[in-house]
Structure 1
Amino acid sequence: MKRVAALAGVGVVLLGTAIVLELGGVAPRAELWSGAGAGVVFLLALALAPAAAPRRSAVRARLLAAAGIAALIAVAALWQESRQPAPEVLLLLIPVALLFATAGLALREAALERRRARLREAGSRLDGAEAERRRWARELHDDTLQELAAVQVLLATPTGVADAREIVGRQIQSLRRLIAQMRPLALDALGLAAALEDLARNARDRDGVDVEVAVDGLPRLPATVETAVYRIVQEALTNAVRHAGGGRVRIEATTHGPAVRVLVRDDGPGAPPAGFKAGHGLLGMQERAELLGAELFVGSAPSGGTVVRLELQAQAAQEM
């Protein structure tokens, strides 16, 4: 996108020059070359602009509209240069009109695509929230509720108090872990680094997996950004524990110049685990990364195992 932005800047300068010359009514030949040059530059930027994301589709539509304006000014300058009352050059207005029509259709399609993306995102969030509710319901039913029923039975016997106290203690710890998964207190109080340490500690205690955390120079980020990063790491860690088939996971959060890089790497076979391809785990991670304007990679690490890499610009994150 940097090359597209640079070309668009050049096109704006040329287009501005052509407009000034048109308003002044002088130097039609210079106006012609400025307008034509602006149109060519905008079309070149259009050819280089990616069209995958809805926002980029809107950029392409605006470039197309700017090319149409530049072409219109070039046609007007060519008419002035020809010094004829009704020259055949006016036929060039036909492709200019087509450019404007195409730009209008592209803008409309980009708006529709943005709306569809918002609907998909909202649906994914609802599905993810519903999946979390189902998981919490299973944990509360299969673990907490069953053991509380056992406590009720034990308390009915003369010698069951000690066993009941042990079960209640286990459930207190289980409920604390569940509450921490819903909203980690460390994230609000101490920041992302402490929350990642807490996440790793819970995974070690609950799943018996060796989880190592390395945090270096990680700045405090806005709460919404830290929450999104935490959820991405949480999902990556959950998939590594459940699907990767390894015994060790390493979480890294470091700064590289203006960028913040977060890695979750396991020592499994190396292909992206099947859990990433099912359900809403990977989709939720991708959507959170897109909302942050960050880059997300999921694949095999060169040294083996599966790696999830998130990279975002610290300055842009601070402004969110």
Structure 2
Amino acid sequence: MQVTVVRQWLGRHERVRDAVPAAVVVFVAVAATAAGPSGWHAPRVGAVAWTALACVPLVFRSRWPLPVALLTLAVDLTGMTLYPDSVGTPAACLVALYTLATRSTRRTAWLTGLTASVAIAGVYAAAHHEPLLVGTSLLRFDFAIAATALGDAVRSRRRHLAEAEARAENAERTRDQEARRRVTEERVRIARELHDVVAHHITLVNAQAGVAHHLMRTDPARAHQALAHIKDNSRTALDELRATVGLLRQSDDAPDSRAPLPRLTDLDTLIGGVRGGGLDVTVTRLGTPRPLAPSIELTAYRIVQEALTNAHKHSRGAHAEVTLDYGASALHVTVTDDGPPHPAGGPGTGHGLIGMRERANAVGGTVTTGPRPEGGFRVAAELPLSLTPAAL
């Protein structure tokens, strides 16, 4: 914990952080010049002072790494010439070369490091009157190379860590965006379901309630029948609402209120409710019926439901026709009525018509709507018999 606090504090004080290695180098220089074969003695002031002078530029090593490396190299080389017995290892220059390798390009770091290595080895050999290729001179050459290599390794590691963090952040951001997109799509789908269920059944209940009210005194038997239809339609609406809202339940909720989503086999019940509301409906099935994907059957059911709801609500006609044509690769659903064009006529701008198109597009199909030349309104949908890859 304390180490973390110190690191954070040094991160906020760049000059202090850069000066820490300089203080260490000066301390080591004092200890090295004070030690001798016969024991400890007073440090050599000249050598320590020259080492301290070489360490002064290190305070700015993070801001100007290349100029600091060249300056410390020049000062250290001069100290090695003036005090060959005391300044044998240019420590300040090694720190500067390490910093340069961590903060500059690899090309700049290695060109500077190799140049410094040759210069340090040559000056040391000349100051001590030794051949350039003897062990002690080559050791100074290796020091500079090692400092540059260590800085280059640290820079590469930092870059890899930064790239890994960027990839992780991007993956997290992508997951969040995908989750939000899926939530939005699910909300739109549930909103369509609720619209279709509520609009259809409330329209039928309203119509049947009007019939019951009108016939209550003149024909109680028919009024009683209309009330029975209201009861049936309201129960069906509640069941479908439970099934739709049940999609929002958690996985550990009790499943007792979940009902299966409607399919084409439930059309007879739907048609019966519409007929009970006063609209005569004829159903025609062409081709060979075959099992379809549940999403396609639900889409076809909802399109028929919405089309009949619009016909009952907007049309003054008394008859509607529903045609299900099973073709070779598509199911053609057509709903027509014999009334005038709907108020939302033309291509269709109501929420129900827009919802039909969205449902069909979601499974790879199409919906066209508009008035018929002979009168009335027509809804035609073409749905694939199997889901396309884009719809999966």
Which interval holds the TM-score relative to the shorter structure? 0.3 to 0.5
- The structure, 1 or 2, with the larger RCO (C-alpha pairs under 8 Å, 6+ apart) is 1
TM-score (norm. length: structure 1): 0.45
